Structure 1
């Protein structure tokens, strides 16, 4: 068992994200998960990511606030405790269109080693 305290979470720069602070909660450390990692992102009002895609699937769980997600010409809003699955290769754009901070968990597999 490994307990990683929130106070130990390291910030990281998420590519193509703006007005966002991201922290790695689990993964990329000795004794951590072997197949995936978990992060926590805080999006300021107007903050977001994309449009872009990833070669790996990902899951978002919105903890607070409301996030607008655009995929393939469709736009949906996700709020507290909603989960969003983004398949590998799917172009997505996310944006916080409200005045509250959005906090979400992201879980995704490790990048493939080349």
Structure 2
């Protein structure tokens, strides 16, 4: 078992994100997961990401607040404990349209060049 305390999580900067503070909860470390990493994203009001896509799928789980996910012009609001899977190469945009910080878990496989 590999335990990592929240107080030990290190920040990371996610490309094409704004008004967002990311912490790496698991991954990219000895003894951690071997096929994916887990991020904790905190989006300030009016913060977001994209539009962009990745060559691998992602899973988002909203823990607090709400996030609007926009794909092909279709807007879906995810609320507390809602989740979604974004397939590889699907262009998405994320927006926190509320006046509250939105907190979200992100599960992403390692890029081939970064596998531990």
Aligned residue in 1 for 2:52: 52
Distance in structure 2 (CA, Å) of the matches to 1:42 and 1:71: 21
TM-score (norm 2): 0.96
Query: Number of paired residues?
Result: 114
| Dislocated runs of 4+, deviation >3 Å | none
Q: Structure 2 regions of 5+ residues with no counterpart?
A: none
User: In the alignment, what sits opposite 1:99?
Assistant: 99
Offset at 1:90? Answer: 0.2
Structure 1 counterpart SS, 2:113: coil
- Gapped runs of 5+ residues in structure 1? none
Deviations 1:10-51 (CA, angstroms, capped at 9, x unpaired): 000000000000000000000000000000000000000000
What's 1:24 paired with? 24
TM-score by length of 1: 0.98
Structure 1 residue aligned with 2:40: 40
Q: Distance in 2 between matches of 1:111 and 1:98?
A: 32
Please provide the CA RMSD for this pair: 0.9
User: Which residue does the alignment assign to 1:88?
Assistant: 88
